[in-house]
Structure 1
Amino acid sequence: MHQSKWIILTIIIACQLIVVLDASIMVTAVPQIGHSLHMTATSLTWVHNGYILPFGGFLLLGARAGDLLGRRRMLSVGIGLFSLASMLAGLAPTAEFLLVSRAFQGFAAALTTPAALALLSASFVEAKERSRAIAVYSAVSAGGGSIGLILGGFFTDFISWRVGMFINVPIGIALLYLVQRFIQKTDTRTGRFDLWGAVTSVIGMTALVYGFIQAADQGWGKPETLISLAAGIVLLAVFVLIEARTKEPIIPLRLFASRQRTGAYLGRFLLLCGNFSLFFFIPQFLQNVLDFSSFEAGLAFLPFNGAMFGMLYLMPRLVHRFGNIKVLIAGLLLAIIGTAWMSQIVSIHVQFFPQMFILLAIMGIGTGMALQPFTSLGLSDVDSRDTGAASGLINVAHQSGSSLGLAVLITVFDAAIRTTGQPSKLQFAHAISDSILGSAVFITSALVATLFYLLPAHQPARKQSLIDS
């Protein structure tokens, strides 16, 4: 790989890393944020979801903007807005100001991420180079969450949770310079923005997540919960109708004409429903049951993070030897085993080392093996006009899965808390165990989707090759 391409890859990865970090950098800081800004337990969930929902919801609009206005331009605009929003979040004097700033951050991230992935796809066209580049990108996309936990915990314990926001500002300024210096200007096109599609998708997903959070806080039978869930379902159905009828949709439904791509998008969504929730529940267990500090809870994810990045060096060879689908299935099986086993050992008596340490490493290996194939399969055989939309859809599956999965599993956690009469730490450990088991169910669903959608597409191709030989 030429030096210039390494520079481009480094810039793209750095852009992706800062937006992924900010999805988790607040997790270990949640108790401190609640104390300093007087936020309730329910409102604290929006520190995370207030970022993730506009991030996932506007990704497709961001991808479309990159196609029409130029990907380098949108990457620069996204980084600039992200840096500004990060500074505002760090300065937040009230809970409301923080949540609005986080939403602004999420919108900026939605402009940045699809432009970065589309530039990666366009810059690395040779098969071996592209495989290596996607491996790095996938590892950062997944491992960035655990890095965020470590940094967030460090800043919270030793300085302030606000530093986790301020640090994005100098990084963003440096990236703006590097993007202009090393990434060539990309072409623009004429066309329209599917604004109604973007609005209905964002509001619909927000309503759905809000409904699950209200179910956890108020109960399933409350009118506010039912109305919110119903509104989310209706708005998402309207979104699909808009995409089917508009001339220039943010999600061209032709992307789902490929069974392989459909399976990759759905599988990634379900994997993240289960996987990202672990970054929320396990640190809470470590802090509230095992009495870890915020920084120690972040460091506890090093085995997951180390295993994830270790797979970076092995994935190109594994994929070359066994193919994307076999590696993907093996990775999902490892992730399921590690997560299900983790749910069974979580208790007030568990020792972090070696039990949790080993299982986190197994989960990291499995996730690292799964994400790169999902990315490659989601971009496979995409027409050049749809590259931005396909890149955006991969990230939509990633972010919406993170948000919706956490919202659903919070209801599992709350139900377990309410139905047990055990002492406080036992009660909390029991609820965390149930939530992690829910994560395993989501990841198992990702495996089922993979087998259903990807194996039928794989087998005929194999039979045809035997006939040809």
Structure 2
Amino acid sequence: MQNKFTKYEFAILAIVLVSYFMTVLDVSVVITALPNIQSDLHLSTANLTWVQNAYTIIFGGLLLLGGRLGDIIGRKQIFNLGLVIFGIGSLLVGLANSATWLIIARGFQGTGAAALAPSTLALLMDSIPAGPKRIRAVADYGAVAGIGASLGLVIGGLFASLLSWRYAFFVNVPIAIVMFIWASKTVHATKAQKGSFDGIGSLLSLVGMVSLVYGILLISDSNTAWYWIIAAVILLALFVLREAKVAQPIMPLRVFKNKERTGAYLARMLFLGAMMAFWFFITQFLQKVYGFSPLLAGIGFFPMTIANFISALQVSRWTAKFGNGMTLVGGLILTIIGMFWLSFAGANGNYILTIALPMILIGLGQGAALSPLTTAGIADIEPRDTGAASGVVNVAHQVGGSLGLAILVVLGTALAGTNNLVLRTDWALRGGVGFLIVALLLTIILIVPKKQNN
């Protein structure tokens, strides 16, 4: 009985997983529908990229503040506030009739997600005691990150083909309302800590990250790119210096003193950078090169989605048998093989051999990697830093995706030009393989030894 969730613990887990699933889903649900969105709103290629990045950058840039506010004000309060903002943002995205409106609404939606995501993981850790139950719960949480992203590609394609891409966002509104009512009645209020939040630090991190991604995207098109990148480095350096000195940091630097956690954050950034480029390019590849409709493109990701789901269901068993670090190593190796294979798809390839089979490997690898990365990211964390560590886990996830996509878009364009989607996709995926190899090395050096010593 000790390994079974109580009624309250199960309710918390359900609320957390559904709410987190909703935020992760919206990172990828837009990708399959990008061609339809571009056509409907007459977006330029630059604006199309910002439809994705506006959400992920604001999401990632405000996550640290969201986690800190949860510590100070209370996780339940910030969680509920996040649901309200996310629901309103989703409605505004669905109603957008211009590029400006859409990008701003996606940013607003990202603000709600930034309040939700760290609160979900922190609520889970507050409500479920350490031991086998928490290990299972964290594994489920990590699995949602991969399954939500994969399923979002399918859902986006379904809505774009059968109804409209707008319904992929409208559907969030009733879900957010139900979760708000359920959480208000069910979740116990957490005790708030005394302190204040670092508004200046939040601003420095947000503006620094936006400048960095924007600068990287401009490298192939503008001489001003390096000014943005230099400004970003300065702002982010000032942010770190401030966090080292301020009394109530939004990102306590002591979180990074643990090598396992630091390795997990870096590896997660690299992993999501590779995966975001994979989703972004393969979605367009299926529609523009293979001639798939958005519906067929969404269905085209089914091999990965199913493999991801199967792998995620087994990850708790694998970590118990092989350890968290070695499970992560196995997941990364599978993903590397699958993505390298996929990078040779070509314009005349067979879908089964060149797309579906490597997708299965990528899905298995993603399912096996994200849960161990989440577990390592909160390993041995002190209760006072639960919100901060939860925020950093999600920052690595979202910011890693944005930066990775920006870098690999530039890499693909530099090596293949803007008019050859096939070669751009190939080189972007090979760049993603490089990211994954570095993530594997970091895992072997920083994460696996810790688990072996235990």
CA change 1:455–1:7 in 2 (3 A) is closer
**Where in structure 2 are the equivalents of 1:367-378 lying within 5 Å?**
367-378=366-377
In structure 1, the partner of 2:173 is 169
1:200-245 Cα deviation digits (max 9, x unpaired): 11111111100111123x15xx1x2111111111111111111111
- Deviation of the 1:124 alpha carbon: 2.0
TM-score (norm 2): 0.96
Q: For residue 41 of structure 2, what is the aligned residue in structure 1? A: 37
Task: Report the Cα distance in structure 2 between the residues aligned to 1:303 and 1:127, rounded to whole angstroms.
Answer: 34
What is residue 409 of structure 2 aligned with on the other side? 410
Matches of residues 20-35 of structure 1 in structure 2 within 5 Å? 20-35=24-39
Task: Describe the SS at the equivalent of 1:25.
Answer: helix
Aligned residue for 2:58?
54
Matches within 5 A, 1:85-124: 85-124=89-128
SS of 1:251's partner is: coil
Alpha-carbon shift at residue 456 of structure 1 (Å): 4.3
Aligned-pair Cα RMSD in Å: 1.4
Instruction: Work out the CA distance in 1 between the residues paired with 2:448 and 2:81.
Output: 40
Query: Once the 2 structures are TM-superposed, how far is the Cα of residue 50 of structure 1 from its aligned partner?
Result: 0.5
**Matched residues, number:** 450
SS of the residue corresponding to residue 26 of structure 1 reads helix
Deviations 1:97-156 (A, max 9, x none): 111111000011000010011011122224221121112111111121121111111111
* Letter matched to residue 378 of structure 2: L
User: TM-score, with normalisation over the residues of structure 1?
Assistant: 0.93
How much has 1:32 moved relative to structure 2? 1.7
The yes-or-no answer on 1:139 pairing with 2:138 is: no
Percent identity (aligned): 40
Measure how far apart 1:312 and its partner are: 2.5
Match of 1:296 in 2: 296
Contact 2:376/2:447 (CA < 8 Å) preserved in 1? no
Displacement of 1:250 after TM fit?
Answer: 0.7
Matching residue of 2:283: 283
User: 1:392 corresponds to which residue?
Assistant: 391
Match of 2:355 in 1: 356
**Native 8 Å contact 2:78 2:116 kept in 1:** yes
Query: Does the 8 Å CA contact 2:67/2:387 hold for their aligned counterparts?
Result: yes
Aligned amino acid, residue 423 of structure 2: H
Q: Which runs of 4+ in 1 moved over 6 A?
A: none
Matched to 1:250, the amino acid is I
* Alignment gaps of 5+ in structure 1: 463-469
d(CA) in 2 for partners of 1:158, 1:406:
28
Q: What amino acid sits opposite 1:41 in the alignment?
A: T
Confirm whether residue 256 of structure 1 aligns to residue 265 of structure 2. no
Corresponding residue number in structure 2 for 1:467: none
Give the Å deviation of 1:7.
Answer: 2.0
Q: Distance in 1 between matches of 2:382 and 2:8?
A: 26
Specify every segment of 5 or more residues in structure 2 that has no aligned partner in the other structure, as ranges.
none
**1:176 Cα offset (Å):** 0.5
The AA in structure 2 aligned to 1:364 is G
- Provide the C-alpha distance between the structure 2 equivalents of 1:317 and 1:154, rounded to a whole number of angstroms: 33
In structure 2, the partner of 1:449 is 442
Query: 5 Å matches for 1:215-234?
Result: 215-216=219-220, 218-219=221-222, 222=223, 224-234=224-234
SS across alignment from 2:219: helix
The letter of the residue matching 1:105 is: Q
Q: Which residue of 2 aligns with 1:336?
A: 336
Q: Is the 8 A contact 1:146 1:298 kept in 2?
A: no
Deviation at 1:458, TM superposition (A): 4.4
Residue equivalent to 2:68: 64
Instruction: Find the aligned partners of 1:159 and 1:417 in 2 and give their Cα distance.
Output: 35
Q: Which moved more, 1:450-459 or 1:364-373?
A: 450-459
Is the contact between residue 145 and residue 279 of structure 1 (CA under 8 Å) also seen in structure 2? no
Instruction: Return the match for 1:436 from 429, 432, 436.
Output: 429
- Retained in 1: the 8 A contact 2:139–2:375? no
Q: Distance in 1 between matches of 2:311 and 2:97?
A: 42
Is contact 2:36–2:165 with CA below 8 Å preserved after alignment? yes
**Kept after mapping to 1: 8 A contact 2:70/2:77:** yes
Aligned with 1:17 (options 7, 10, 21): 21
